[in-house]
Chain A
Amino acid sequence: MARVARLAQRIPIVLMAIFIILPMVAVLLYSFATRWTSNILPDGYTFEHWIDGFTDARFAAVLVRTLLLAIACAVLDLILVTPAVYWQKVRNPRIRPFLELAAAIPFAIPFVVIAFGLLALSGRFAPQLQGTLWLLLPAHAAVAFSFVYWAVDSSMTSAGVARLSEAARTCGAGPMTILWRVVLPNIGPGIASGALLAFGASFNEIALVQMLVGNRFETVPLYMLNLLKGSNADFNLLAVMTSVTFLVTLVLSIAVVYVNGGATTQLANTNPGRRETQ
């Protein structure tokens, strides 16, 4: 009786799990299907699409390009955010409202708005930047920085960085030494999860890519859009690329949980800005 009730309680989460898993399974099957027209499962299976994809120059270039962009974005964000948050904590609390405001912008404002604004601005003041990485990379860093900000901020707070650096100062250390040798080793998980989230944000972003550089710098989401919209849409190849992005998402999610020491709940706590990265 009690067991039946407990099983009944599980029904909503099980239905949700099915809803979540079904589209993923469909994509995976498509990526291995020879032909799939009228049966529950594909007519046959093959690795051909995966081999085709990874041997295709465009496909491989798109993947490498996107990975490099996402890594650059995460690194740039760490370089920008960590000293700023550190300085706010140990030197000047008046920095905080500005950082909070800046972090709230990509949290709430759709990236399309930022994209069009940047397009208009660069067209007016710096047309030579249009279509280049020199516009796209800072833009990605700007819209992804709030993830790093929240992660680093909360890990610095919980590590008690203000008190740590006071202690280090009484030992005669200077600001850069403190940041490098005392603060950073204590906020490793925050840095790592912030970087992973920024990586994910950049990897999946399409609005800025489409508006600012377009097909001159084709990234994974743009490539998928082009395949989807193209007249001779290759659904199997699209399924391969979707599987790849799904795998990247999965690995990132697991990595974030892992670097937070298995504290899954922290995901929701420390990153109030988890959102669809459009």
Chain B
Amino acid sequence: MADQLSFGLASTRGRSSHLRRFASRLLVWLADWSMALPLLIVSALMLVAPMVAMFAGSFIDGNGQMSLVNWSDTLGSVASQRAIGNSLLLGVTVATITLIIGGPLSWQVSRMLRLGRAFSLGLLNVAANFSGIGLGFAFVAALGTYGMVTLAMQALGLPFSPVSQSSFWGMVIAYEYGNIPLFVLLSLPAMSLLRDEWWEAAQTASATRWQFWRHIGLPILMPLMLADWLLIFTWSVGMYGLPLALVGSAPRAFRLITVEMGQSMVGSLFGVNHVPVYAVILMVIATITLLAYRLIVRRAMQWLV
């Protein structure tokens, strides 16, 4: 009896202390996270939740049932296939040209003296940030049918007819405007990883400039440049404002995933169920890029730090 009583007492005491311990642990937890909670909640609601919604939405049909109909509709439509293909092709082309021009340019800027460097960086920084609709219009103003460059060339008697802004190459040129400067700014820190001493050491070891780049410069820089290529590719695929301005009054002239998504808002209901699928495709590209980026940078840095 006494045993039972004491047992009972112990258990009630145990429960209340359990509660108290839980409460105090909750308080500690709240204190540990308190100052970060507002930001984390906003991020969850405004960034994570929309992504989840798009992901789930791609697998739900018009009647709210689980189905793959959105995917089969989208991937089966010739227009969608073209939009996806165009977006990827544009991304690859833009990123590759960016790498080929931006890489050497970045190297040059990294080796500039103070004044030239400050000037170049200022210019590149402005270009990298001048974007979207304004940039689209600026290209029309410069290279459109009545653009400044076009008029200038024709006034000089040259048979110059500009590529249409809404054509593939027209878009590539406009995309490069912001992307090359962005690439240079992104890759500058990598360029300073390559120490001038290594070039001097290579010279004392009888290496030519070409041998230096082949055996030392490129093996060190190339992985980092490829990581930046990936970022440019992903951002190019995801660009919205600039292509919207460029496709002009002929939205179907050159289909892109992002533009198609925008058109589905203002246009007819046709194609609305493609949107979540496009969104998931863009998210998958972004995720793969981020993971690959981290992997590549870690591999590239393993002998450097």
**Which residues of A line the B interface, CB within 8 A?**
9, 12-13, 16-17, 19-27, 29-30, 36-40, 79-81, 83-84, 86-88, 91-92, 94-95, 98-99, 102, 104-118, 120-121, 124, 138-139, 141-143, 145, 200, 204, 206-207, 210-211, 221, 224-225, 228-229, 235, 238-239, 241-242, 245-246, 249-250, 252-254, 256-257, 262, 264-265, 267-269, 272, 274-278
Q: Which of A87, A269, A276, A278 contacts B189 (CB 8 A)?
A: A269
Cα A192 to Cα B48 with chains together (Å): 27
Q: Are B53 and A228 touching (Cβ within 8 A)? A: no
Q: Which of A36, A142, A207, A241 contacts B43 (CB 8 A)?
A: A142
Q: Which of B136, B139, B141, B178 contacts A239 (CB 8 A)?
A: B141
A211: chain B residues at CB < 8 Å are: 265
Cα A246 to Cα B138 with chains together (Å): 10
* In the complex, residue of chain B having the shortest beta-carbon distance to the beta carbon of A262: B118
B261: chain A residues at CB < 8 Å are: 112, 116
Closest 10 CB pairs of A and B: A117-B50, A110-B238, A142-B46, A87-B35, A23-B138, A102-B43, A108-B286, A84-B36, A26-B148, A83-B35
* Main SS at interface, chain B: helix
B35: chain A residues at CB < 8 Å are: 83-84, 86-87, 91
Q: Are B122 and A274 touching (Cβ within 8 A)? A: no
Q: Which of A23, A94, A121 contacts B142 (CB 8 A)?
A: A23
Q: Are A276 and B34 touching (Cβ within 8 A)? A: no
Q: Are A228 and B148 touching (Cβ within 8 A)? A: no
Cα A98 to Cα B126 with chains together (Å): 31
Size of the B side of the interface (Cβ < 8 Å), in residues, is 98
**Which residues of B line the A interface, CB within 8 A?**
31-36, 38-40, 42-43, 45-54, 57, 101, 104-105, 108-109, 117-118, 120-143, 146-149, 151-152, 154-156, 177-182, 185-186, 188-189, 192, 234-235, 237-242, 244-245, 248-249, 258, 261-262, 265, 275-276, 279, 282-283, 286-287, 289-290
CB distance from B124 to the nearest CB of A (A): 8
Please judge, given known A-B contacts A12-B108, A26-B142, whether A92 and B238 are in contact too, CB under 8 Å.
no
